[in-house]
């Protein structure tokens, strides 16, 4: 496992922990005192890690899977307007 892939794996695991916390908050509903700045930081972190994971998957597809036809590869964000 490459260092980059290890980092992505670690970060995705951390995101999983976020989802557990978010689920608990959702169950508590209006009883929880939620700091919106913290929620913004969590969602920004999730977006960042998702981008890292996407980039790593693109590297694997492009570098390690030469047998995958370009037609079958997922589009780059620049091709989808993201």
Query: pLDDT of 38-69, one tens digit each?
Result: 778 888 887 887 787 778 777 777 777 666 66
Helix (H) or strand (E) holding 18: helix 3-28
Report the C-alpha gap between 66 and 43 in whole angstroms: 34
Nearest to 76 by CA among 59, 64, 58: 58
Q: What is the pLDDT of residue 79?
A: 57
Q: Take residue 51 and report the two structure tokens written for it.
A: 């981008």
Q: What is the pLDDT of residue 7?
A: 72
List the chain domain ranges.
Answer: 3-80
Contact present, 68 and 60 (Cβ < 8 Å): no
Mean pLDDT of 9-35: 74
Mean pLDDT across the chain: 72
């Amino acid at each position: 496992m490459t260092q980059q892939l290890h980092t992505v794996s670690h970060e995705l695991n951390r995101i999983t922990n976020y989802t557990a916390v978010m689920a608990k908050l959702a169950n508590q509903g209006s009883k929880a005192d939620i700091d919106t700045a913290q929620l913004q930081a969590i969602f920004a972190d999730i977006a960042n890690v998702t981008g890292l994971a996407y980039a790593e998957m693109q590297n694997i597809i492009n570098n390690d899977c030469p047998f995958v036809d370009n037609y079958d590869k997922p589009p780059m964000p620049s091709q989808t307007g993201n």
